[in-house]
Amino acid sequence: MNYHEALRYLYSLVDYEKRRIERYTPEEFRLDRVVDFLDSLGNPHLAYPKIHVAGTKGKGSVSAMLASIGMASGMKTALYTSPHLHTYRERMQINREPISRADMAALLTELRPLIGDNPDLTIFEVTTALAFLYFARQNVDLAVVEVGLGGRLDATNVITPLASVITSISLDHTYLLGDTLAAIAGEKAGIIKPGVPVVVSPQRAEAREVFETVSAARHAPLTLVEQSWTSEVQERHYHRQRFALRHIGAPDAFAGDYELPLIGNFQRENAATAVAAAAVLREHGLPQFTLKAVRQGLEQVVWPGRMEILHRDPLLVVDCAHNAYSSEMLVSSLEEWFPGKKWILIYGASSDKDLTGMLRALLPVTEHVIVTRSYHPRAVAPYQLADLCADLGRGAEIAISPQRSLEQACSRAGAEVGILVTGSVFLVADIRAVYAQTVPLNLPQSDWDDEPWQSDNVTTSP
């Protein structure tokens, strides 16, 4: 298979990212199916040390930070994340380089007969196994593995890491993971392994208590970031921030001043979690994690689409916030970075999200609302979003496409009014692709931009 044939084959597998999952149960998400498939591949996930990262908000950012620290430590570092922004290949990277089209096509061609013997394998399970095999064959020194959904039943939860990391928990995927913080935390706590250290980001009490209970039951040494570290902002800039991290109660080798090319208060929290995890990992198998490497790793981290400023005049900010809590944190950061600024909101979201909760957080700081939809199958129709805005007491302009929404927003934006794009990873990806048509963003080659046709089953964005 060539790359396009391989990708079409991959998309033909069961894909819970494109349709609503009805059941989140061990019968539906069978880890033994993943274990057996990896065994048929020679258990490639056992070939290198790993860090496992779960959470509702911040898990991708923390994963990227830890991978960047690994690179700065001189280690050949793999990063497995989902979903992607512009190409499926972004999900499996080594030293920030996505897997090549040729390598991905060759691996899928090799695996196809084995996949055929296991017809119930999902696209995420196959992608996870493919990534583990790719990392093993590339002889990586370290892999940072982000959970896809939940934790307990996620395909990545077949690994035993050097450390588990759990970022901020909030209400998301409630119809699958539970409608309370405690229930969702219970699913995320599924990645905690007996005796394996766990680092937990600042949490609300309901979630924190679950992690404390599970860690104690599994004799997993627990580091609670909020009880161990403090952060203090020193400087805010459009494209970076400086802050100080201090260890509570005792000196620590990683305490000190840091610089981060990601803005937003939530990124300081993510950075504190990454530093706390690095301190634990230094004591549990990764002596390469030095203060110099941690500082350099944070200074060089790359993680687009998270409170990312694409344009300065007018101000154009994109952010992948896709639940109510993430939207609240985004608004809080916008108010600190850009006090008094009003926003034209370009909003689009997936059908399984808390649309009302997000809009209630976003509408108070918006001067005008434009609703649109990404090219993802689960995207909500713009007229439905407009009706929801009306129910909340606000009018909304409808845009038939992400490109049109940006055109409409630019006609209204100015020195006092910026453009904010949020609600969905997929919408952010589409807006970045539109923006890159006029301003170079150095985007990776799209999966389908050299095909003369578009498949009905595969979208141009994630």
The domain segmentation of the chain, as residue ranges, is 3-299, 308-435
| pLDDT tens per residue, range 18-53 | 445 554 555 556 789 999 999 999 999 999 999 999
Residue 170 structure tokens: 């909030």
- Per-residue DSSP letter, 366: E
Q: Tell which residue, 395, 390, 329, 388, has the closest CA to residue 356.
A: 388
Mean local confidence (pLDDT), 174-202: 87
Does the pLDDT value for residue 410 go beyond 60?
yes
| pLDDT tens per residue, range 45-84 | 999 999 999 998 899 999 999 999 999 999 999 999 999 9
Q: Alpha-carbon distance 9 to 23, whole Å? A: 25
The pLDDT of residue 457 is: 38
Q: Alpha-carbon distance 297 to 289, whole Å? A: 10
- Give me the chain's average pLDDT, please: 90
- For 193, the 3-state DSSP assignment is coil
Would you state the CATH architecture of domain 3-299? 3-Layer(aba) Sandwich (3.40)
With beta carbons less than 8 A apart as the criterion, state whether 243 and 124 touch.
Answer: no
Which residues lie across from 397 on neighbouring strands? 370
Q: Tell which residue, 169, 419, 166, has the closest CA to residue 308.
A: 419
Confidence of residue 16 (pLDDT cuts 50, 70, 90): low
Helix 291-299 and helix 59-72, axial crossing angle in degrees, nearest 10: 120
Contacts of 87 (CB under 8 A, 6+ apart): 98, 444, 445, 446, 447
The pLDDT of residue 461 is: 31
What is the CA angle 392-337-369, rounded to 5? 25
Does the pLDDT value for residue 17 go beyond 60?
no
- For 383, the 3-state DSSP assignment is helix
Contacts of 206 (CB under 8 A, 6+ apart): 180, 181, 182, 185
The pLDDT of residue 370 is: 98
The pLDDT of residue 193 is: 97
The pLDDT > 70 percentage for the chain reads: 91
With beta carbons less than 8 A apart as the criterion, state whether 73 and 293 touch.
Answer: yes
Q: Alpha-carbon distance 273 to 298, whole Å? A: 12
Q: Alpha-carbon distance 86 to 88, whole Å? A: 7
- For 307, the 3-state DSSP assignment is coil
Q: Note the pTM of the prediction, 2 decimals.
A: 0.92
Q: Tell which residue, 257, 260, 203, has the closest CA to residue 227.
A: 203
Paired sense of beta strands 366-371 and 397-398, if any = parallel
With beta carbons less than 8 A apart as the criterion, state whether 343 and 417 touch.
Answer: yes
Contacts of 173 (CB under 8 A, 6+ apart): 149, 150, 184, 352
C-alpha separations of 109 from 1, 91, 289 in Å: 6, 18, 37
Mean local confidence (pLDDT), 380-392: 96
The pLDDT of residue 26 is: 54
Does the pLDDT value for residue 448 go beyond 50?
yes
The pLDDT of residue 275 is: 96
- Per-residue DSSP letter, 170: -
Helix 355-362 and helix 382-391, axial crossing angle in degrees, nearest 10: 60
Does the pLDDT value for residue 145 go beyond 60?
yes
| pLDDT tens per residue, range 234-276 | 999 988 999 999 998 766 789 899 999 999 989 999 999 999 9
The pLDDT of residue 124 is: 94
Q: Alpha-carbon distance 152 to 244, whole Å? A: 34
Does the pLDDT value for residue 339 go beyond 70?
yes
Q: Alpha-carbon distance 430 to 441, whole Å? A: 13
Q: What is the CA radius of gyration of the chain?
A: 21
Mean local confidence (pLDDT), 420-439: 94
The pLDDT of residue 351 is: 87
CA pseudo-torsion sign 248, 253, 256, 257: negative
C-alpha separations of 387 from 330, 394, 395 in Å: 24, 9, 8
Residue 305 structure tokens: 């689409």
Does the pLDDT value for residue 453 go beyond 90?
no
Q: Alpha-carbon distance 400 to 268, whole Å? A: 36
Residue 461 carries which side chain, given as an amino acid letter? Answer: S
Does the pLDDT value for residue 428 go beyond 90?
yes
CB atoms within 10 A of CB 100: 12
Q: Alpha-carbon distance 455 to 459, whole Å? A: 7
- Per-residue DSSP letter, 14: B
CB atoms within 10 A of CB 338: 18
Does the pLDDT value for residue 409 go beyond 80?
yes
Would you state the CATH architecture of domain 308-435? Alpha-Beta Complex (3.90)
- For 132, the 3-state DSSP assignment is helix
Q: Alpha-carbon distance 210 to 184, whole Å? A: 10
Residue 119 or 360, more confident: 360
With beta carbons less than 8 A apart as the criterion, state whether 158 and 190 touch.
Answer: no
Does the pLDDT value for residue 439 go beyond 90?
no
Dihedral of the alpha carbons of 357, 359, 363, 366, in degrees to the nearest 10: 140
With beta carbons less than 8 A apart as the criterion, state whether 176 and 151 touch.
Answer: no
